[in-house]
């Protein structure tokens, strides 16, 4: 997930810790201008509505990870001695990473919220 600083117009990714801080209405620092940023009520509602767009890809990621652990563990323990099997497993793992990486980036591109400086005046509500 990324945030957009309305003070310096910089976009930067945030981690779980900063996401929790935003949920609790605590300010987070901008990575560009270092000003404390807060989330507006409208943006918070949008932020709380975000879902995990990578859910459909989770099964493929888990299978790829299990395959990697199994093949490399079996190779180191001497259980897997077929070069063809190891090569096929490596090709499948690299291929799945090459396919899933861009898919996840594209699926999460829209996960961005706009943050305002902490001391900025609150925006007036729009007239009906």
The tally of domains found in the chain comes to 2
Same domain, 39 and 66: no
- Is 122 within the bounds of a domain? no
Angstrom distances, CA of residue 124 to CA of 8, 25, 71, 76 = 21, 19, 59, 64
Phi-psi region of 26 (alpha: psi -120 to 50; beta: other; left: phi over 0): beta
pLDDT digits (tens, 9 = 90+) for 11-49: 898 888 998 998 898 999 988 888 998 988 888 888 888
Confidence at 127, pLDDT banded by 50, 70, 90? very low
Q: Which pTM value belongs to this model?
A: 0.59
Same domain, 6 and 25: yes
Same domain, 8 and 47: yes
Query: Which domain, by its residues, includes 40?
Result: 2-51+111-117
pLDDT digits (tens, 9 = 90+) for 50-88: 877 778 888 888 888 888 888 888 888 888 777 887 788
Same domain, 9 and 36: yes
């Amino acid at each position: 997930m990324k945030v957009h600083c309305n003070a310096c117009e910089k976009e930067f990714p945030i981690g779980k810790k900063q996401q929790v801080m935003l949920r609790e209405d605590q300010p987070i620092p901008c990575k560009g201008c270092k000003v404390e940023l807060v989330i507006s009520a409208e943006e918070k509602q949008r932020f709380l509505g975000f879902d995990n767009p990578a859910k459909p890809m989770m099964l493929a990621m888990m299978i790829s990870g299990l395959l990697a652990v199994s093949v490399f563990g079996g190779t180191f323990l001497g259980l897997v001695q077929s070069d063809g099997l190891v090569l096929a497993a490596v090709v499948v793992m690299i291929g799945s990473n090459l396919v899933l990486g861009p898919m996840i980036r594209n699926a999460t591109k829209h996960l961005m919220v706009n943050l305002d400086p902490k001391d900025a005046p609150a925006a007036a509500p729009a007239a009906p």
